[in-house]
Amino acid sequence: MTVKTTLSFTDRHHQFLSEKVGQGVFATQSAAVAAALEQMMQDEQEREVALSALAQEIRARMETPREAFIDQDDAFAAARRTIGAARGA
């Protein structure tokens, strides 16, 4: 279903839309706006998935007993060795 609506743009935005339509990137200004909205919707969905995964990881780590913690020197030792080897140290 298509809904007709009226939108207002700054001169800068209008010029950009017109250029993209003129370049053939989009068939119409409406198509360009629709593509931008679809991208915003996808970005929001991806952000929600990432935040959910981060929250889940934080919850899992909060349940880790202290004795299972890894010392920061041990955690980064392999990375330090790799960097040192790459630098020729």
Q: What is the pLDDT of residues 17-51, one digit of tens each?
A: 999 999 999 999 999 999 999 999 999 999 999 99
Domain that holds residue 45: 11-87
What pTM, to 2 d.p., does this model score? Answer: 0.65
> Is residue 29 a part of any domain in this protein?
yes
Regarding predicted confidence, which is higher, 62 or 88? 62
Residue 60 within any structural domain of the chain: yes
Q: Answer yes or no: are the C-beta atoms of 85 and 78 closer than 8 Å.
A: no
Least confident range of 5-9, 20-24, 42-46, 73-77: 73-77
Is residue 53 included in any domain, yes or no?
yes
Question: Number of folded domains in the chain?
Answer: 1
Burial class (CB in 10 A: 0-12, 13-18, 19+), 33: middle
